[in-house]
Amino acid sequence: MSNRDNPILAERNLALELVRVTEAAGLAAARWIGRGDKNAADGAAVAAMRSAFDAVAIEGTVVIGEGEMDEAPMLYIGERVGAGGPAMDIAVDPLEGTSIAAKGAPNAIAVIALAERGNFLHAPDIYMDKIAVGPGLPDGVVALDAPVIENLRNLARAKKCDVADLMVCTLERDRHAEIIARCREAGARITLIGDGDVSGVIAVAQPEAGIDIYLGSGGAPEGVLAAAALRCIGGQMQGRLLYENDEQIARARTMGITDPNRIFGLTDMARGDVMFAATGVTSGPMLRGVRWSHHGAITHSIVMRSRSGTVRTIEATHNFQTKPWIPA
């Protein structure tokens, strides 16, 4: 029996193929670390990721992307990728943390999630209000509409600790001033991040990251990507789309979202069997960034599968003398 005829082996191979796609994007983006041009870094990651998809045995449709069809070179919503195979939906961010990479700051990553057709929330590229905690907690221990202090007290009770022992992660944005103030009034500690809320959400499920809860608004596409990761490693998450005008509401309706005020749970955003892969561009708590050598580069990646619950970390050496992955 060939790998193609064995669905379990085919899925394992596909998971590894996804890592090769994020590696290509990460390597391309890494050429632009610290050069102050986030658009060039993002464009390089997009081009490399799009090219790498040509070798992946799927019939993929981008349902979570960076924009619309007329906003090239982004991997746009509705774009078809892959070399042919099972019909899959793709959530993608070729460079999550473009400003981070441009500044040479920590925690920029290239990220992909994959699910069978119809299993990702088709979210427009707008903001989403989010709350997330890690695995092993009572269902509903936190709620998106509950006051910050109530969520912190309930979480502390569930973790058998004091609120002062909790670490909150949120994006450092003016719009989060009230969240930050309520957390500090409650006595909780806070980690403020400049960008990269996919990693911020995933951190709640990684004990070594020291993050107990993620709060605040960020991109809806990033919310779906983070939900895909939590489906693989455990945790709870809720999100609600935040609209700036009627046009955005109308856009969401065309994507199947009939209730603009709906709170989406983890399995509303990522259902069924999910695969997730990411490669570090700059180093952070989850992944080390690209490291250059005289003959090539070393990448550090992670790949997860919800079916098996496995999480694999992959360190790869790319020898550009034998295979020039990206142009100088």
Q: Which two tokens stand for residue 133?
A: 């905690």
Phi and psi at residue 287, in whole multiples of 5°?
Answer: -140, 145
Helix axis angle, 7-30 to 38-53, nearest 10°: 150
3-state SS, residue 298: strand
Q: What is the pLDDT of residue 71?
A: 52
Note the pLDDT tens digit of each residue in 186-221.
999 999 998 888 999 999 999 989 999 999 999 999
Q: What is the pLDDT of residue 221?
A: 92
* CA separation, residue 238 to residues 9, 150, 198, 223 (Å): 33, 16, 14, 9
Q: Is residue 69 scored above 70 in pLDDT?
A: no
CA atoms of 155 and 163, how far apart (whole Å): 8
CA atoms within 13 A on the CB side of 229: 27
3-state SS, residue 313: strand
* CA separation, residue 86 to residues 83, 220, 222 (Å): 10, 26, 24
Note the pLDDT tens digit of each residue in 143-162.
999 999 999 999 999 999 99
Note the pLDDT tens digit of each residue in 225-263.
999 999 999 999 999 999 999 999 999 999 899 999 999
> What are the residue ranges of CATH 3.30.540.10 in the chain?
3-120+274-319
> What are the residue ranges of CATH 3.40.190.90 in the chain?
127-269
Topology given in CATH for the domain delimited by 3-120+274-319: Fructose-1,6-Bisphosphatase; Chain A, domain 1 (3.30.540)
What sections of the chain are H helices per DSSP?
A: 7-30, 38-53, 98-103, 148-159, 177-186, 197-202, 220-233, 246-254, 266-269
pTM over 0.75: yes
Query: CATH assignment of 127-269?
Result: 3.40.190.90
CA atoms of 84 and 66, how far apart (whole Å): 23
Range with lowest mean pLDDT among 124-128, 133-137, 162-166: 124-128
